[in-house]
């Protein structure tokens, strides 16, 4: 369970999160929508401790992310994150990209890590690309590799930060299909996305962020079918 309690965060004088309260249960798929600058991506990077917070707290299975005593490196292996930019490691092959962290962080043997990496890569449809360098692949393939790389750490939660925003339109589908597959397998996921159709069909709940505030959260039918917040109504009218 991820518990976000009254989290505040500023960059300089700009407050990007103005007291967020949110709980994500095991097995749940939560999507976060909202305009740019609404704070939705910042929240994700706060959840896995890549960004410090100014007030409030975030608990992952009861462990406080920003507590001094927390071993963040250990906690992060529980929390996979995939970014808008794929961040493939260009000097490693696809297989090596996926094997690196399990070997160095989890201490798996080369054989174990390789077996696991092949399994994950096959799972996301890259079983044929093991020896290829990422720069030779399309953006969609690189992004699926990044997903496999995160999954290879056997995370209990996956955070997706606008993972299709940097892709050419014709490549968005293959990445969304991968996310759908994960959701159907019961992975707990928080997806920040601009893909409304995807959010509607895959989510258990959808949250709408506006200017650092979670303005509305509801099941997708309710949120898209009968939006209450006036800003959400405007947002949906503009995106449809």
Please report, as ranges, the residues that interact with another protein according to CB under 8 A. 48, 50, 73-74, 76-77, 81, 83, 85, 87, 89-91, 100-101, 104-106, 133-135, 146, 149-150, 153
The distance of closest approach from Cβ of residue 105 to another protein in the complex, given in angstroms and rounded to an integer, is 4
User: Which distant-in-sequence residues (6+ apart) come within 8 Å of 113 by Cβ?
Assistant: 99, 102, 103, 152
CB of 104 to another protein, least distance (A): 5
Closest CB to another protein among residues 48, 193: 48
Residue 89 or 173 having the CB closest to another protein:
89
Q: How far is the CB of 51 from another protein (least distance, A)?
A: 10
CB of 139 to another protein, least distance (A): 15
Q: Closer CB to another protein, residue 192 or residue 214?
A: 192
**Considering the complex, what minimum distance in angstroms separates the CB of residue 173 from another protein?**
24
Residue in the structure block whose two tokens are 């079983």: 127
Cα gap 169→148, rounded to integer Å = 21
Neighbours of 211 (CB within 10 A): 14
Nearest in space to 170 (alpha carbons), one of 138, 211, 212? 138
Q: Among residues 164 and 203, whose Cβ is nearest to another protein? A: 164
Q: What's the distance, Cα to Cα, between the start and end of the chain in Å?
A: 33
Of 50 and 222, nearer to another protein (C-beta) is 50
In the bound state with another protein, the residue whose beta carbon lies nearer, of 120 and 203, is 120
Name residue, tokens 């898209």: 224
Please, what's the b/e burial string for 175-208 (b: 16 or more CB within 10 A of its CB; e: otherwise)? bbebbeebbeeebbbbbbbebbebbbebbebbbb
For the CB of residue 67, give the shortest distance to another protein in the complex, in Å.
17
Region of 227 on the Ramachandran plot (φ > 0 left; ψ -120 to 50 alpha; else beta)? beta
Helices (H), 48-195: 72-76, 94-104, 110-123, 139-151, 169-184
């Amino acid at each position: 369970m991820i518990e976000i309690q009254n989290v505040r965060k500023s960059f300089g004088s700009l407050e990007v999160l103005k007291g967020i309260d949110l709980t994500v249960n095991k097995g749940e798929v939560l999507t976060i929508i909202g305009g740019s600058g609404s704070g939705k991506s910042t929240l994700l990077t706060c959840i896995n401790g890549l960004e410090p917070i100014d007030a409030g707290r975030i608990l992952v299975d009861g462990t406080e992310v920003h507590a001094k005593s927390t071993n963040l490196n250990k906690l992060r292996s529980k929390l996979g994150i995939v970014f808008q930019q794929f961040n493939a490691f260009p000097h490693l092959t696809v297989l090596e990209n996926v094997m690196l962290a399990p070997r160095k962080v989890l201490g798996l043997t080369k054989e174990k890590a390789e077996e696991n990496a092949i399994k994950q890569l096959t799972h996301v449809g890259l079983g044929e690309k093991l020896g290829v360098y990422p720069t030779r692949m399309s953006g969609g393939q690189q992004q699926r590799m990044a997903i496999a790389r995160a999954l290879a750490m056997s995370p209990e939660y996956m955070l997706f930060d606008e993972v299709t925003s940097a892709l050419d339109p014709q490549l968005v589908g293959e990445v969304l299909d991968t996310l759908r597959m994960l959701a159907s397998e019961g992975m707990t996921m928080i997806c920040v996305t601009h893909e409304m159709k995807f959010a509607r069909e895959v989510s258990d709940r959808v949250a709408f962020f506006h200017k650092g505030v979670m303005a509305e959260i509801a099941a997708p039918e309710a949120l898209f079918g009968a939006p209450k917040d006036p800003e959400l109504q405007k947002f949906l009218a503009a995106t449809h």
